[in-house]
Amino acid sequence: MDEQSLIQAALRGDVESFNTLVLAYQDMAYSVAYRVMGERDAAADAAQDAFISAFKKLDQFRGDQFKAWLMRIVTNACYDELRRRKRRPAASLDTLQDEAPQAELGLVDDAETPEQRLQRAELNQAIQDCLTGLPTDQRVVAVLADVEGYAYQEIADITNSSLGTVKSRLSRARTRLRDCLQGAQELLPAKYRLINEE
């Protein structure tokens, strides 16, 4: 995929070229939005809003890294939705019904037993619950660094923050995540459990 050619074609009004970019980045955009928002529907809405915004603002793209530029728009869409929710909280009917475990977020391994699959789903849910409990600025940097694997400088570009701020937020987020996950210690692989020395 020649990203720059697609961007140039999209700037000339070629919607198919922009759709190709959407297809290339939609899973990544959804993943970031899901980990920040903690809800599938909200993540899908944020990702969709981000792509619409990116299409409208494509003429503002200055030729640096498209992925970082797009992820900045995705995280901003998440921030906007979270701020909107604080102003007008609403109860969702979806939260009233029991949802299936989050196992469908990953590939199902046929070698897993049903018990292992359930434990993995419970661990995924525990991690998501701990992420959701973080302040938004810490959650965003934790998702970008530890889930998506972005470098510190890329995160600073995406969040429009200084490198020191990113490192500080990530350190605080990791500490809070570690403390939170101790409540689900039995779900963690043995090498990640803290052992109390008495």
The answer to whether the predicted template modeling score (pTM) of the entire model surpasses 0.75 is no
- Is 101-193 in the same CATH topology as 1-93? no
Weakly modelled stretches of the chain, pLDDT under 70: 1, 89-110, 187, 189-198
The helix/strand count (H/E) of the chain reads as 8, 0
For residue 65, what pLDDT is reported?
83
Fold of 101-193: Arc Repressor Mutant, subunit A (1.10.10)
Burial 108-133 (b: 16+ CB within 10 A, else e): eeeeeeeeeeeebbbbbbbbbebbee
Domain ranges of the chain: 1-93, 101-193
- Residue-level pLDDT at 90: 56
- The pLDDT tens digits for 6-21 are 988 988 888 999 999 9
Return the pLDDT at 3.
87
| Architecture field, domain 1-93 | Orthogonal Bundle (1.10)
pLDDT of residue 167: 96
